Amino acid sequence: MNIRQILSESYNKINFIFTGIILLGFIYSGIFSANGIKHPIKFRCAEIYNKPCVSTGLSRSFSEIVRLNFHKAKEYNSNGIAIFLFFFIQFFLRIIVSFIYISKIISEKKLILLDVGISIILFIFTFHNLIFWGINPQ
């Protein structure tokens, strides 16, 4: 099976796109640091709500995680490590699921349902603090 055949499947295209986006996020975190080159994307949540938001400091936290400075990452955002792990797991899950999909080890329907189920559970577990922020602000 060549690359053209692999990418002709919509499911593999989506996985390829998500993997690329996540990889770009990791590269962004590696290029821009909390102390060196400043992040070009400014977050205005605190200015809008006149208080820190639960997502404040995530970019700086990710930058510290890429540099394996977990203590500093947690100082920037207490949710940073869990959220980074979500994307780290999703990065490899997209690759693994695509290989399983191509090799037809599991039926397409079962694989997609399993993939969606795992991703939803991981998402809710990881982002519950951000999802319910409006109901229960920190």
Q: How far apart are CA 44 and CA 52, in angstroms?
A: 10
Would you kindly state where each structural domain of the chain is located, as residue ranges?
Answer: 3-131
pLDDT band at 135 (very low <50, low <70, confident <90, very high): very low
Q: pLDDT digit string (tens) for 104-121?
A: 899 989 999 999 999 999
For the segment 23-40, what is each residue's pLDDT rounded down to a tens digit? 999 999 988 877 766 766
Nearest alpha carbon to residue 15 among 103, 105, 115: 115
